Amino acid sequence: MVLKLYGWFSSTPALAAAMLLHEKNVPFEWVEVDLTKSEQNLPEFLAKTPFHEVPLIEDGEFILSESRAIARYLDEKYPNQGTQFYPADVQRRAVVDQITWNDTFHFGQFGTRVVLEILNRKYFGMPTDTKAAEEAKKALFINLDIYETILSKQKYIAGNELTIADIIHIPVAARLVQEVGLNIGEGRPNVYRWVSEIIARESWAKAKEIFFAHPSH
């Protein structure tokens, strides 16, 4: 039975989960959950998870949400397949976890806020809160300056090998660059190098097909 990935086409965490599955070479079926119609609150969806959120994977009878939890599950289920998201060394794994938590509370939070205000609100027929978008940009740029320092010393955000810490950033970073038109690499050559390299990965190109296949495009 093929794994199912439930998500909304414009959800950056759902697109991250799709990218993760492509990195692991795991076939999957995309199941659209239209957040503009509150389909995440329907009884049939809540029968799978009480958390009202996407992404969610259904692997046979096993159900799991949260893109970071999905990444760890895939890495351990398919240890010799595709990209390894987590290093074996305990200290290197701790650094990966440190960066992914930073994404949750800093880069991801502020970057997603910009995407929400400038892009996603239009799908809900809501006006952009310009002040909120500008405040989020300022906070995002502070975090990116920290990333520039880190990336000046190593190839990837958690070391010299690609990990979940890199992949989890890309849907937000790509949308900021390619759709919002935000120059997050201005004055940050290493951030520019890092984002450009990962955006060019085949897994992201495949994940983007979900976005562009949506009838709104």
Q: What is the pLDDT of residue 120?
A: 72
Same domain, 76 and 31: yes
pLDDT of residue 36: 86
Asked whether residue 217 is domain-assigned, the answer is no
Which tokens is 5 given?
Answer: 């990935």
Q: What are phi and psi of 56, to 5 degrees?
A: -145, 135
Report CA Rg, the chain.
17
Q: What's residue 130's pLDDT?
A: 86
Dist. CA 66–CA 76, nearest whole Å: 16
Domain final residue, candidates 52, 84, 116: 84
Distance CA 214, CA 153 (A): 40
Whether residues 140 and 198 share a domain: the answer is: yes
- Find the domain containing 191 and state its range: 90-203
| Same domain, residue pair 116 and 186 | yes
- 106 and 191 assigned to the same domain: yes
Q: What is the mean pLDDT of each run of 10 residues along the chain (217 residues)?
A: 93 91 96 93 94 95 93 91 91 95 91 85 77 93 97 97 93 90 93 95 93 74
Which residues, including other chains, have CB under 8 Å from residue 164's CB and lie 6 or more apart? 20, 68, 71, 72, 75, 85, 86, 96, 100
Q: Is residue 122 part of a domain?
A: yes
Q: What's the pLDDT score for residue 211? A: 82
Going by C-alpha positions, the residue among 24, 3, 4, 20 that lies closest to residue 12 is 20
Residue 37 CB contacts under 8 Å (≥ 6 apart), including other chains: none
Does residue 15 sit in the same domain as residue 55? yes
* Token pair belonging to 132: 């909120």
Residue 129 to residue 121: CA distance in whole angstroms = 9
How much is the pLDDT for 117? Answer: 84
pLDDT score recorded for residue 217: 57
Task: Give the rounded distance of the alpha carbon of 170 from its chain centre.
Answer: 6
Angle at 48 between CA 103 and CA 82, to 5 degrees: 50
pLDDT of residue 127: 81
